[in-house]
Amino acid sequence: MVLRACRTVVAPGALPVIGHAWPLMRRPLQFAQSLSGQGDLVEVRLGPVRAQVPCHPELLWRVLTDDRVFDKGGPFFDRVRATIGNGVGSCPYGEHRRQRRLIQPSFHPARLERYAAVMEQEAAALTENWRDWRDGRVIDVYQALFGAALRTVLRTLFAAQAADAVVDRFRGPVETVLHQLTARMFVPPSLQRLPLPVNRRFDRAVDDLRQGIGDLVAELRRGGTDRGDLLSALIAARDDEDGPGSGLEDDEIHDQVLTMVVAGSDSVAAAVSWALYLLDGHPRVRDQLEREVDTVLAGRPARGGDVAGLPCTGRVIIEALRLYPPGWLFTRVTTAETELGGHHLPSGTTVAFCAPAVHRRQGVYDRPEVFDPERWLPERARTLPRGAFAAFGGGARKCAGEDYALAESTLLLSTITSRCRLRLAPGSDARPVALSTALRPRRLLMEVSSRQGRTK
């Protein structure tokens, strides 16, 4: 795909003070998709801040991979950092390499196998509960999946034996943080400090999470044993490049854990929710998926070792992520004067990384608005330009938990498909919620009926 002749393009419709906040929050995907029709680099107004949105895959790839120049920072990320700390997802370039080296062992394939056992148990428990209900019962799919994903991330973080107590302690504070975190990116710090009920609830939730994480870190340090969970891996991590035996301090562990809890619950629940919503509207794809899971699983819950043998399931997840990327809007800030797509960007320029502006762009994808998992068949996917798919970011800052998230999403979707069929129910509102850490459906109500798939 060829870059267009460069010119300064400003998205129309900005309002005084709030800029493009109204269409961004009300119709995020339509607004993002409209930008790609206006140019390769389009200026939007995030409140009073002017931000450049790369709408061409080559420009997005440059922003994602040149993280020294396009660094995480600026007023929006500073507000996130004030809440969830300076973990690997929010720290600046100068700290990222060390943090990434220290957390990478937490996602080693051998540990992922252990985490997969927890994922299997939670997917099986969820669907067993659904199958016990009478056919036709209506469930709020996102809420149910969020509960399963939160249990999974907490159990993989803090070991299975503490599951119920930890989930009870963390669920309320996690939900409060998730529901308010993105909105607070756009709220000035002076307003966040006011003693309003919404601010007090949020601050109390963050304090409760940090206290809970601190208690678990202290307990594990006293025990001194590796329980096979993420927390054990973080405590044991050492970085010889930073000095012999150098590891993460307790406050750094708090930040990493908080980042993982926030990212590992909402995003997976949103991705699988959108996949189920899309499958209901595309019976041919659903039938193909059911044939795959019936052949591979024969009616049982999926196991970690099944993931590689469920390619159709994986393609459905990736296509759902293309259409509805959970992390749909992030900002970077230029640390030096630079050029992007023929445009001069002064140091301190805000660049908005908005995946749907590329994911839904005509010319990058054939019929980009259509749900078509087969576009991820190897022979078709290899023709896509770099930067065409950015649901997990890219470059050195690509999400460290990508394999974890894809494995969990695949196990959830395949187990649900093997045992149940879900249909959209009256009262649903599948419009995306923009002011959430993950782009999720507002209210996804679906009727559940049990199914007995073909067995081997």
**Per-residue pLDDT tens for 354-411?**
999 999 999 999 999 999 999 999 999 999 999 999 999 999 999 999 999 999 999 9
At 14-65, the pLDDT tens digits run 998 889 988 888 899 999 999 999 999 999 998 888 999 999 999 999 999 9
Q: Above 60 in pLDDT, residue 455?
A: no
29 in any annotated domain: yes
* Residue 28 CB coordination number (10 Å): 21
In a domain, 327, yes or no: yes
* Burial zone of 165 (CB within 10 Å; 0-12 exposed, 13-18 middle, 19+ buried): exposed
Backbone angles phi, psi at 316, to 5 degrees: -60, -40
- For tokens 């498909």, the residue is 417
Q: Looking at this protein, which amino acid is placed at residue 77? A: F
Domain presence at residue 2: no
Tell me, yes or no, whether 4 lies in a domain: no
Q: Tell me the two tokens of residue 78.
A: 């500073």
At 456 the pLDDT is 46
Token pair, residue 248, equals 């993460």
The whole-model pTM stands at 0.92
* Maximum distance among all Cα pairs of the chain, rounded to whole angstroms: 63
- The CATH number for 18's domain is 1.10.630.10
Three-class DSSP category at 339: strand
CA distance 240 to 109: 21
Residue 456 counted as domain residue: no
Tokens of 173: 């504070």
Rounding to the nearest 10 degrees, give the CA dihedral for residues 153, 154, 156, 161: -150
Angle formed at CA 209 by CA 203 and CA 213, multiple of 5 degrees: 145
263-279 pLDDT, tens digit each: 888 999 999 999 999 99
Q: Which domain holds residue 383?
A: 9-450
Domain assignment present for residue 184? The answer is: yes
Rounded CA-CA distance 381/366 in Å is 12
Query: Total domain count for the chain?
Result: 1
Compute the distance between CA of residue 378 and CA of residue 380 in angstroms, rounded to an integer.
Answer: 5
d(CA 166, CA 169): 5
Give the pLDDT mean for 67-82. 81
Left (φ > 0), alpha (ψ -120 to 50) or beta: where does 363 sit?
Answer: left
CA of 3: how far to CAs of 59, 138, 369, 387, in Å? 9, 48, 21, 13
* Overall average pLDDT of the 254-267 stretch: 85
Identify whether 162 is part of a domain: yes
356 within some domain = yes
Give CA–CA dist 376/379, Å, rounded. 8
